Protein backbone atom coordinates (compact mmCIF):
# COMPACT_ATOMS: atom_id res chain seq x y z
CA UNK A 1 0.00 0.00 0.00
CA UNK A 2 1.39 3.43 -0.87
CA UNK A 3 1.83 5.94 1.91
CA UNK A 4 -0.20 9.13 1.82
CA UNK A 5 1.30 12.59 2.32
CA UNK A 6 -1.06 15.45 3.15
CA UNK A 7 -0.16 18.97 2.00
CA UNK A 8 -2.19 21.70 3.71
CA UNK A 9 -2.36 25.15 2.13
CA UNK A 10 -1.86 23.35 -1.17
CA UNK A 11 -2.67 26.39 -3.32
CA UNK A 12 -0.48 28.76 -1.28
CA UNK A 13 2.96 30.21 -1.91
CA UNK A 14 4.81 27.12 -0.65
CA UNK A 15 2.06 24.51 -0.80
CA UNK A 16 1.48 24.45 -4.55
CA UNK A 17 5.22 24.25 -5.18
CA UNK A 18 5.48 21.44 -2.62
CA UNK A 19 2.76 19.42 -4.36
CA UNK A 20 4.72 19.79 -7.61
CA UNK A 21 7.98 18.76 -5.92
CA UNK A 22 6.42 15.71 -4.29
CA UNK A 23 4.75 14.66 -7.52
CA UNK A 24 8.00 14.89 -9.48
CA UNK A 25 7.22 18.16 -11.29
CA UNK A 26 9.54 20.29 -9.18
CA UNK A 27 12.93 18.77 -9.89
CA UNK A 28 12.74 16.18 -7.15
CA UNK A 29 12.90 12.98 -9.13
CA UNK A 30 10.34 10.47 -10.30
CA UNK A 31 6.71 10.70 -9.30
CA UNK A 32 5.90 8.94 -6.06
CA UNK A 33 9.48 8.10 -5.15
CA UNK A 34 10.01 8.11 -1.42
CA UNK A 35 12.90 6.02 -0.26
CA UNK A 36 11.92 3.34 -2.82
CA UNK A 37 8.28 3.28 -1.64
CA UNK A 38 5.20 4.51 -3.45
CA UNK A 39 3.18 7.30 -1.93
CA UNK A 40 0.12 9.40 -2.72
CA UNK A 41 0.02 13.20 -2.57
CA UNK A 42 -3.22 14.47 -1.00
CA UNK A 43 -3.77 18.23 -1.31
CA UNK A 44 -5.96 20.14 1.13
CA UNK A 45 -7.60 23.26 -0.30
CA UNK A 46 -10.14 25.60 1.24
CA UNK A 47 -11.85 26.81 -1.93
CA UNK A 48 -11.11 24.68 -5.02
CA UNK A 49 -13.56 26.71 -7.08
CA UNK A 50 -11.48 29.86 -6.66
CA UNK A 51 -8.03 28.48 -7.42
CA UNK A 52 -8.58 25.11 -9.04
CA UNK A 53 -6.86 21.91 -7.86
CA UNK A 54 -3.09 22.08 -7.47
CA UNK A 55 -1.20 20.51 -10.34
CA UNK A 56 0.38 17.16 -9.49
CA UNK A 57 -1.92 16.14 -6.63
CA UNK A 58 -3.17 12.55 -6.67
CA UNK A 59 -6.08 13.48 -4.42
CA UNK A 60 -7.71 16.79 -3.51
CA UNK A 61 -9.79 17.29 -0.36
CA UNK A 62 -11.66 20.41 0.69
CA UNK A 63 -11.59 21.79 4.22
CA UNK A 64 -10.76 24.69 6.49
CA UNK A 65 -7.66 24.36 8.67
CA UNK A 66 -9.61 25.66 11.66
CA UNK A 67 -12.25 22.88 11.35
CA UNK A 68 -11.14 19.86 13.40
CA UNK A 69 -13.71 17.53 11.79
CA UNK A 70 -12.50 18.47 8.30
CA UNK A 71 -8.91 17.95 9.41
CA UNK A 72 -9.74 14.51 10.79
CA UNK A 73 -11.18 13.55 7.41
CA UNK A 74 -8.20 14.97 5.54
CA UNK A 75 -5.78 13.06 7.80
CA UNK A 76 -7.48 9.70 7.37
CA UNK A 77 -4.77 7.17 6.49
CA UNK A 78 -2.06 9.83 6.25
CA UNK A 79 1.49 8.98 7.36
CA UNK A 80 3.17 12.38 6.93
CA UNK A 81 1.79 15.90 6.65
CA UNK A 82 2.94 19.39 5.76
CA UNK A 83 1.26 21.91 8.06
CA UNK A 84 0.58 25.59 7.47
CA UNK A 85 -0.36 27.30 10.74
CA UNK A 86 -3.83 28.83 10.46
CA UNK A 87 -5.38 31.63 12.52
CA UNK A 88 -6.01 29.20 15.39
CA UNK A 89 -2.25 28.47 15.60
CA UNK A 90 -2.83 24.92 14.41
CA UNK A 91 -5.17 23.89 17.21
CA UNK A 92 -7.85 22.24 15.03
CA UNK A 93 -5.22 20.37 13.03
CA UNK A 94 -3.52 19.23 16.25
CA UNK A 95 -6.80 17.98 17.69
CA UNK A 96 -7.28 15.79 14.63
CA UNK A 97 -3.63 14.67 14.59
CA UNK A 98 -3.87 13.44 18.17
CA UNK A 99 -6.63 11.04 17.13
CA UNK A 100 -4.93 9.72 14.00
CA UNK A 101 -3.13 6.41 14.45
CA UNK A 102 -1.26 6.39 11.13
CA UNK A 103 0.46 9.78 11.42
CA UNK A 104 4.17 9.55 12.17
CA UNK A 105 5.74 12.83 10.99
CA UNK A 106 4.67 16.47 10.76
CA UNK A 107 6.60 19.09 8.80
CA UNK A 108 5.53 22.57 9.92
CA UNK A 109 6.43 25.86 8.24
CA UNK A 110 6.92 28.52 10.93
CA UNK A 111 9.02 31.61 11.57
CA UNK A 112 11.62 33.00 13.92
CA UNK A 113 10.10 34.92 16.84
CA UNK A 114 11.25 36.91 19.90
CA UNK A 115 11.85 34.71 22.96
CA UNK A 116 10.13 37.28 25.17
CA UNK A 117 6.36 36.89 24.80
CA UNK A 118 5.82 40.51 25.88
CA UNK A 119 7.36 41.65 22.60
CA UNK A 120 5.41 39.33 20.31
CA UNK A 121 2.69 40.68 18.08
CA UNK A 122 -0.07 38.49 16.62
CA UNK A 123 2.04 37.37 13.66
CA UNK A 124 4.73 36.09 16.00
CA UNK A 125 2.27 34.52 18.43
CA UNK A 126 0.74 32.29 15.78
CA UNK A 127 4.08 30.64 15.07
CA UNK A 128 5.21 30.30 18.68
CA UNK A 129 1.89 28.85 19.81
CA UNK A 130 1.59 26.71 16.69
CA UNK A 131 4.98 25.07 17.13
CA UNK A 132 4.14 24.27 20.74
CA UNK A 133 0.75 22.87 19.76
CA UNK A 134 2.26 20.60 17.09
CA UNK A 135 4.88 19.32 19.53
CA UNK A 136 2.15 18.56 22.06
CA UNK A 137 0.51 16.07 19.65
CA UNK A 138 3.23 13.51 20.38
CA UNK A 139 3.91 13.08 16.65
CA UNK A 140 7.55 13.73 15.64
CA UNK A 141 7.79 17.27 14.27
CA UNK A 142 10.19 18.96 11.86
CA UNK A 143 9.84 22.74 12.10
CA UNK A 144 11.04 24.72 9.10
CA UNK A 145 11.85 28.36 9.83
CA UNK A 146 12.61 30.07 6.52
CA UNK A 147 14.07 33.53 6.18
CA UNK A 148 11.80 36.17 4.58
CA UNK A 149 10.61 35.14 1.15
CA UNK A 150 12.03 36.73 -2.00
CA UNK A 151 8.40 37.14 -3.06
CA UNK A 152 8.04 40.01 -0.60
CA UNK A 153 9.55 42.11 -3.39
CA UNK A 154 6.21 41.74 -5.18
CA UNK A 155 4.99 44.35 -2.72
CA UNK A 156 7.12 46.87 -4.61
CA UNK A 157 5.23 46.32 -7.86
CA UNK A 158 2.74 49.13 -7.19
CA UNK A 159 5.56 51.60 -6.53
CA UNK A 160 7.38 50.54 -9.68
CA UNK A 161 4.24 50.80 -11.77
CA UNK A 162 4.04 54.45 -10.73
CA UNK A 163 7.73 55.35 -10.89
CA UNK A 164 11.28 54.18 -10.21
CA UNK A 165 11.36 54.47 -6.41
CA UNK A 166 10.60 51.79 -3.83
CA UNK A 167 9.24 53.16 -0.54
CA UNK A 168 10.09 51.20 2.63
CA UNK A 169 10.32 51.81 6.36
CA UNK A 170 13.51 49.81 6.97
CA UNK A 171 15.81 50.09 3.93
CA UNK A 172 18.78 48.83 5.94
CA UNK A 173 17.04 45.57 6.84
CA UNK A 174 19.49 42.91 5.62
CA UNK A 175 18.23 39.32 5.42
CA UNK A 176 19.11 36.15 3.46
CA UNK A 177 15.84 36.13 1.48
CA UNK A 178 14.78 32.71 0.22
CA UNK A 179 12.94 31.63 -2.91
CA UNK A 180 9.69 29.82 -1.92
CA UNK A 181 10.64 27.08 -4.38
CA UNK A 182 13.59 26.25 -2.13
CA UNK A 183 11.32 26.12 0.91
CA UNK A 184 9.03 23.72 -0.94
CA UNK A 185 11.87 21.49 -2.10
CA UNK A 186 13.40 21.44 1.38
CA UNK A 187 9.98 20.49 2.79
CA UNK A 188 9.67 17.72 0.20
CA UNK A 189 13.03 16.32 1.24
CA UNK A 190 12.03 16.46 4.92
CA UNK A 191 8.73 14.69 4.20
CA UNK A 192 10.52 11.98 2.23
CA UNK A 193 13.08 11.42 4.97
CA UNK A 194 12.84 9.34 8.10
CA UNK A 195 10.89 10.97 10.95
CA UNK A 196 13.13 12.53 13.61
CA UNK A 197 13.30 11.31 17.18
CA UNK A 198 11.06 13.86 18.87
CA UNK A 199 11.17 17.26 17.21
CA UNK A 200 13.76 19.35 15.38
CA UNK A 201 14.02 22.91 14.08
CA UNK A 202 15.64 23.59 10.70
CA UNK A 203 16.43 27.14 9.59
CA UNK A 204 16.26 27.84 5.86
CA UNK A 205 17.76 30.76 3.97
CA UNK A 206 18.88 31.98 0.62
CA UNK A 207 22.58 32.09 -0.29
CA UNK A 208 23.29 35.74 0.50
CA UNK A 209 22.35 38.49 2.95
CA UNK A 210 20.98 41.51 1.08
CA UNK A 211 19.55 44.80 2.32
CA UNK A 212 16.73 46.54 0.48
CA UNK A 213 18.93 48.78 -1.74
CA UNK A 214 20.92 45.72 -2.81
CA UNK A 215 17.76 43.81 -3.73
CA UNK A 216 16.34 46.82 -5.55
CA UNK A 217 19.61 47.23 -7.47
CA UNK A 218 19.47 43.58 -8.59
CA UNK A 219 15.83 43.95 -9.58
CA UNK A 220 16.63 47.10 -11.52
CA UNK A 221 19.40 45.33 -13.44
CA UNK A 222 16.99 42.53 -14.33
CA UNK A 223 14.31 44.99 -15.44
CA UNK A 224 16.73 47.30 -17.22
CA UNK A 225 15.70 50.26 -15.05
CA UNK A 226 17.51 52.65 -12.73
CA UNK A 227 15.69 52.14 -9.44
CA UNK A 228 16.09 53.85 -6.06
CA UNK A 229 14.89 53.40 -2.48
CA UNK A 230 13.23 55.99 -0.26
CA UNK A 231 12.72 55.68 3.48
CA UNK A 232 9.22 56.54 4.70
CA UNK A 233 7.70 56.81 8.17
CA UNK A 234 5.65 53.83 9.42
CA UNK A 235 2.31 55.66 9.33
CA UNK A 236 2.96 56.87 5.79
CA UNK A 237 3.83 53.33 4.67
CA UNK A 238 0.70 51.91 6.28
CA UNK A 239 -1.32 54.49 4.35
CA UNK A 240 0.46 53.58 1.09
CA UNK A 241 -0.35 49.87 1.41
CA UNK A 242 -3.91 50.36 2.74
CA UNK A 243 -5.52 49.42 -0.62
CA UNK A 244 -4.22 45.85 -0.34
CA UNK A 245 -3.16 45.28 3.32
CA UNK A 246 -5.37 45.69 6.42
CA UNK A 247 -3.83 48.15 8.87
CA UNK A 248 -3.38 45.61 11.68
CA UNK A 249 -1.57 43.22 9.35
CA UNK A 250 0.60 46.00 7.90
CA UNK A 251 1.67 47.12 11.36
CA UNK A 252 2.35 43.50 12.26
CA UNK A 253 4.71 43.26 9.29
CA UNK A 254 6.59 46.32 10.55
CA UNK A 255 6.96 44.62 13.94
CA UNK A 256 8.48 41.63 12.17
CA UNK A 257 10.89 43.87 10.25
CA UNK A 258 12.03 45.58 13.46
CA UNK A 259 12.69 42.21 15.07
CA UNK A 260 14.59 40.88 12.06
CA UNK A 261 16.73 44.01 12.03
CA UNK A 262 17.78 43.21 15.61
CA UNK A 263 17.93 39.44 15.07
CA UNK A 264 20.22 39.59 11.99
CA UNK A 265 19.42 36.20 10.50
CA UNK A 266 22.49 34.32 9.23
CA UNK A 267 22.88 32.34 6.03
CA UNK A 268 22.00 28.69 6.69
CA UNK A 269 23.30 25.65 4.81
CA UNK A 270 20.11 23.63 5.33
CA UNK A 271 18.68 23.88 1.81
CA UNK A 272 21.85 22.34 0.38
CA UNK A 273 21.93 19.69 3.11
CA UNK A 274 18.34 18.65 2.43
CA UNK A 275 18.19 18.95 -1.35
CA UNK A 276 21.79 18.45 -2.43
CA UNK A 277 22.02 21.81 -4.20
CA UNK A 278 22.53 25.46 -3.39
CA UNK A 279 19.48 27.68 -2.84
CA UNK A 280 18.44 30.00 -5.64
CA UNK A 281 19.72 33.59 -5.60
CA UNK A 282 17.53 36.66 -5.42
CA UNK A 283 18.67 37.47 -8.96
CA UNK A 284 17.36 34.14 -10.18
CA UNK A 285 14.04 34.81 -8.47
CA UNK A 286 13.87 38.29 -10.03
CA UNK A 287 14.66 36.96 -13.52
CA UNK A 288 11.96 34.33 -13.19
CA UNK A 289 9.37 36.85 -11.97
CA UNK A 290 10.18 39.89 -14.11
CA UNK A 291 6.72 39.69 -15.66
CA UNK A 292 5.20 40.62 -12.30
CA UNK A 293 6.93 44.00 -12.68
CA UNK A 294 5.80 44.55 -16.25
CA UNK A 295 8.85 43.09 -18.00
CA UNK A 296 9.24 39.92 -20.10
CA UNK A 297 9.90 36.97 -17.80
CA UNK A 298 11.54 33.61 -18.47
CA UNK A 299 9.93 31.57 -15.71
CA UNK A 300 6.67 30.92 -13.88
CA UNK A 301 3.26 31.88 -15.15
CA UNK A 302 1.02 34.33 -13.31
CA UNK A 303 -0.05 31.46 -11.05
CA UNK A 304 3.51 31.20 -9.81
CA UNK A 305 4.23 34.82 -8.97
CA UNK A 306 2.97 34.91 -5.40
Task: Classify 83 as helix, strand or coil.
Answer: strand
Q: What is the pLDDT of residues 172-183, one digit of tens each?
A: 999 999 999 999
Q: What is the pLDDT of residues 192-239, one digit of tens each?
A: 998 888 889 999 999 999 999 999 999 999 999 999 999 999 999 999
pTM of the model as a whole: 0.91
Q: What is the pLDDT of residues 97-129, one digit of tens each?
A: 999 999 999 999 999 888 765 456 777 888 999
Tabulate helix, strand, coil % of the chain (nearest 5). Answer: 40, 15, 40
Whole-number Å distance between alpha carbons of 105 and 43: 16
Closest residue by Cα to residue 268 from 183, 202, 185: 202
Taken as a whole, the chain contains a residue count of 306
Amino acid sequence: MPETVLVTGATGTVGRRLVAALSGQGGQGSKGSRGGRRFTVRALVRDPGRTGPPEGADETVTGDLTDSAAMAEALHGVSTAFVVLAADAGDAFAQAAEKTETLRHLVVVSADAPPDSAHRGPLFARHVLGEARMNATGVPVTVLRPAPFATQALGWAADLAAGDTVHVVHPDLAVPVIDPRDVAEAAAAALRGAPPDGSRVLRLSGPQILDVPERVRVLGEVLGRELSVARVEPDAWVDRVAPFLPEAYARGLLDVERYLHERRLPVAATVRELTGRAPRSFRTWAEDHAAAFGAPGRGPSSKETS
